[in-house]
């Protein structure tokens, strides 16, 4: 008996509503997986530069894609804030953005809780400044220009916190002025738009669906609730968020190549990043979806894991055979292979990311072999006799408070009313 693991398109609406915020949080933790290895290899300043370049390369592209997918076709601050709510750089609750809209082209936001700050603050003021000043200034603007190239995001206050328990964690203004010069599209983003990931076609949203929202053309809302969206819209959002992972990893790779001493060093650090986020995200996905710690749970996690998706990009599939073996099929001619990203790190001699995923589901699941067949790498996973220790790369990524973060039910989505419209 053979069972193929579900893709996003195979899930019911309630499962997708649980999955989407998990995917957004997973994307935020990519940097928790990669940056520790950059600091070890190059130091804090180079780490900061790579973070700037990776986000500036990826965020204009994936923000444009999400705008197009969900009909966010305006050029004001509400439209920008909608995009932030669907951005792996600002996962709900973990990065607890609170928005105020003054009028179409003026607004502000503050972070009542910043999970990224909680991760970095124990490392000292220098690291906080690198994140909250050096990285945020250019990357916020790079995200904003996908909505309007005359947009600027500027701080009112930000960490290091004085006093040390200052709340909210930071506050920013957003302004769009018609006589202001347009910011250019970053050169790396221009190139990223031409990748297979940048132009990939994903599942269409059924505009006639009656089971929830089919776009985000209406009011900006506080605490976007994914259970209020239609099933096909959630499928598309999940696919886009998985693709955000891929685009960010490509931005990371592009920047890493500029500073690395050799191709071997590039591969080593890139693989460590992948192993860390692969295991960490697998652990959260299994728990969030309440999956069994067995081969069936593993196959489902692989089918939904963002570093192995979306399926239209990677072609990765997982099957359970005879209730005992998971067979993971990784095509060698996919768009993901053509882009040269994470998927190219998997070969018969380097299956560490898949083992990290398996170990996160059940420590007794072991990658037992791999062979090339019919243009794909087929990897088998079985239950072994001894538990396998969690990889060090995953343990490093667990320093993030996101590893154990719990989402809470905040009720229904509430429209945010522009101040200028209140009499």
pLDDT-based confidence at residue 335 (cuts at 50, 70, 90): very high
Q: Structural domains in the chain?
A: 11-243 (no CATH), 264-404 (3.30.1380)
| % of the chain at pLDDT higher than 90 | 98
pLDDT at 421 over 80: no
Q: What is 239-294 written as a DSSP string?
A: HHHHHHHHHHHHHHHHHHHHH-SSHHHHHHHHHHHHHHHHHHHHHHHHHHTT--SS
pLDDT at 147 over 70: yes
Measured N-to-C along each axis, helices 263-288 and 295-304 cross at an angle, to the nearest 10 degrees, of 120
How far is the CA of 308 from the CAs of 83, 123, 226, 318, 373, in angstroms? Answer: 24, 31, 23, 11, 19
Model confidence pLDDT, tens digit, residues 166-198: 999 999 999 999 999 999 999 999 999 999 999
Share above pLDDT 70 across residues of the chain, in percent, rounded to a whole number = 99
Q: Is 414 helix (H, G, I), strand (E, B) or coil?
A: strand
> For the segment 16-41, what is each residue's pLDDT rounded down to a tens digit?
999 999 999 999 999 999 999 999 99
Tokens of 23: 């995917």
Residue 221: its H or E element: strand 221-222
pLDDT value of position 322:
95
pLDDT of residue 423 exceeding 60: no
> CA-to-CA distance for 249 and 251, rounded, in angstroms?
5
- Under 8 Å between Cβ of 77 and 105: yes
For residue 103, is pLDDT > 90? yes
Q: End-to-end distance of the chain based on CA atoms, in angstroms?
A: 66
Cα separation, 348 vs 345, in Å, equals 10
On the question of pLDDT at 349 being above 80, the answer is yes
Element (H, E) at 137: helix 136-144
- Which residues lie below 8 Å from residue 264, measured CB to CB, with a gap of 6+? none
Q: Is 78 helix (H, G, I), strand (E, B) or coil?
A: helix
Residue 422 has pLDDT above 70, yes or no: no
The pLDDT of residue 184: 96
Joined tokens for residue 211: 């089971």
- Classify 300 as helix, strand or coil: helix
Global pTM value: 0.97
Asked whether the predicted pLDDT for residue 204 surpasses 80, the reply is yes
Q: What pLDDT shows up at residue 29?
A: 95
User: How is residue 67 written in tokens?
Assistant: 């705008």
How far apart, in whole angstroms, are the C-alpha atoms of residue 6 and residue 297?
Answer: 11
Residue 263 is predicted with a pLDDT of: 98
pLDDT of 374 above 60: yes
| pLDDT higher than threshold 80 for residue 420 | no
């Amino acid at each position: 008996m053979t069972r193929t693991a579900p893709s996003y398109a195979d899930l019911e609406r309630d499962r997708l509503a649980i999955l989407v915020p998990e995917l957004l949080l997973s994307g935020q933790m990519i940097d928790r997986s990669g940056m520790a290895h950059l600091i070890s290899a190059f130091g804090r300043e180079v780490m900061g530069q790579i973070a700037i370049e990776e986000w500036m390369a990826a965020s204009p592209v994936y923000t444009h894609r999400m705008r197009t997918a969900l009909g966010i076709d305006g050029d004001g601050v509400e439209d920008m804030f909608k995009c932030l709510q669907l951005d792996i750089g600002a996962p709900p609750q973990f990065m607890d953005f609170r928005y105020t809209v003054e009028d179409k082209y003026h607004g502000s936001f503050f972070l009542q809780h910043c999970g990224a700050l909680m991760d970095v603050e124990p490392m000292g003021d220098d690291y906080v400044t690198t994140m909250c000043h050096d990285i945020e200034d250019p990357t916020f603007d790079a995200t904003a220009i996908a909505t309007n190239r005359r947009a600027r995001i500027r701080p009112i206050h930000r960490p290091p916190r004085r006093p040390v328990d200052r709340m909210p964690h930071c506050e920013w203004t957003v302004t769009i002025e018609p006589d202001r010069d347009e910011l250019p599209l970053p050169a790396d983003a221009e190139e990223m738009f031409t990748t297979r990931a940048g132009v990939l076609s994903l599942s269409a949203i059924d505009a006639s669906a009656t089971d929830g929202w089919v776009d985000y053309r209406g009011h900006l809302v506080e605490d976007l609730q994914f259970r209020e969206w239609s099933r096909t819209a959630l499928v598309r959002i999940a696919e886009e968020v998985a693709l955000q992972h891929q685009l960010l990893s490509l931005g990371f790779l592009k920047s890493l190549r500029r500073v690395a001493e050799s191709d071997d060093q590039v591969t080593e650090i890139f693989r460590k990043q992948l192993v860390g986020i692969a295991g960490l995200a697998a652990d959260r996905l299994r728990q969030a979806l309440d999956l069994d710690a067995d081969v069936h749970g593993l196959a489902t996690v692989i089918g939904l894991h963002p570093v192995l998706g979306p399926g239209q990009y990677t072609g990765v599939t997982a099957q359970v055979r005879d209730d005992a073996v998971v067979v993971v099929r990784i095509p060698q001619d996919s768009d993901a292979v053509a882009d040269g990203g994470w998927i190219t790190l998997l070969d018969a001699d380097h299956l560490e990311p898949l083992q990290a995923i398996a170990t996160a589901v059940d420590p007794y699941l072991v990658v037992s072999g791999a062979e090339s067949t019919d243009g794909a790498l087929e990897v088998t996973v079985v239950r072994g006799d001894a538990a396998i220790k969690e990889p060090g790369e995953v343990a490093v990524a667990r320093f993030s408070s996101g590893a154990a973060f719990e989402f809470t039910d905040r009720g229904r989505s509430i429209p945010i009313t522009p101040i200028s419209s209140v009499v």
